[in-house]
A and B are shown apart, each in its own frame.
Chain A
Amino acid sequence: MSRDEVRAAIIDILADIAPDEDFNAVDDEKNLREQFDLDSMDFLDIVMELRKRYNVEVPEKDYDELATMSRCVNYLQPLLTAARA
Chain B
Amino acid sequence: MVDRDSPDWRIVITGVGLTSPNGNSLDEFRGSLLAGRSGIVKFETRYMGEVPAGVCGFDERRYQKKKEIRRGTRAGSVAIYCAREAIGDAAIDFAAFDKSRIGVYAGVTEHGNVETENEVHAISQYNYDVRYWSHHHNPRTVANNPAGEVTLNMGITGPHYCIGAACAAGNLGIVQGCQMLRLGEVDLALAGGVSESIHTFGIFASFKAEGALAAHADPAKASRPFDKNRNGIVCSEGGCLFTLERLTDARRRGAKIYAEVTGYGVNSDATDFVLPDATRQAECIRLALKNAGLAPGDIDILNTHATATPMGDVQECIAMRDVFGAEDGVWVNNTKSYIGHTMGAAGALELAGNLPAFDDLTVHPTINIDAVDPQCELRNLVVNRPKKIDRVEHILNNSFGMFGINSVVIVSRLRN
B253 within 8 A of A: no
A52 within 8 A of B: yes
Which B residues form the contact surface with A (CB < 8 A)? Answer: 65-67, 70-71, 126, 131-132, 134-136
In the bound complex, do residue A51 and residue B132 qualify as a contact, i.e. CB atoms below 8 Å apart?
Answer: yes
B135 contacts which chain A residues (CB < 8 A)? 41, 44-45, 48
A34 within 8 A of B: no
In the bound complex, do residue A20 and residue B65 qualify as a contact, i.e. CB atoms below 8 Å apart?
Answer: yes
Interface of B is mostly: helix
Assuming the contacts A19-B66, A20-B65, A41-B136, asked whether A51 and B131 have C-beta atoms less than 8 A apart, the reply is yes
Which A residues form the contact surface with B (CB < 8 A)? Answer: 17-20, 37, 41, 44-45, 48, 51-52
Q: Taking the nearest CB of chain A, how far is it from the CB of B109, in angstroms?
A: 27
In the bound complex, do residue A37 and residue B132 qualify as a contact, i.e. CB atoms below 8 Å apart?
Answer: no
Closest chain B residue to A41 by CB distance? B135
A52 contacts which chain B residues (CB < 8 A)? 126, 132
Q: Once the chains are docked, how many angstroms separate the CA of A48 from the CA of B122?
A: 12
B67 contacts which chain A residues (CB < 8 A)? 17-20, 37
B71 contacts which chain A residues (CB < 8 A)? 41
Q: Taking the nearest CB of chain A, how far is it from the CB of B86, in angstroms?
A: 25
Q: Once the chains are docked, how many angstroms separate the CA of A25 from the CA of B256?
A: 48
Can you list 16 A-B contacts with CB-CB less than 8 angstroms, sorted by A residue number? A17-B67, A17-B70, A18-B67, A19-B66, A19-B70, A20-B65, A20-B66, A37-B67, A41-B71, A41-B135, A41-B136, A48-B134, A48-B135, A51-B131, A52-B126, A52-B132
Q: Taking the nearest CB of chain A, how far is it from the CB of B248, in angstroms?
A: 41
Known: A37-B67, A41-B71, A52-B126. 15 other contacts (CB 8 A): A17-B67, A17-B70, A18-B67, A19-B66, A19-B67, A19-B70, A20-B65, A20-B66, A41-B135, A41-B136, A44-B135, A45-B135, A48-B134, A48-B135, A51-B131
B132 contacts which chain A residues (CB < 8 A)? 48, 51-52
A45 contacts which chain B residues (CB < 8 A)? 135
Q: Once the chains are docked, how many angstroms separate the CA of A61 from the CA of B43?
A: 45
Q: Once the chains are docked, how many angstroms separate the CA of A79 from the CA of B99?
A: 48
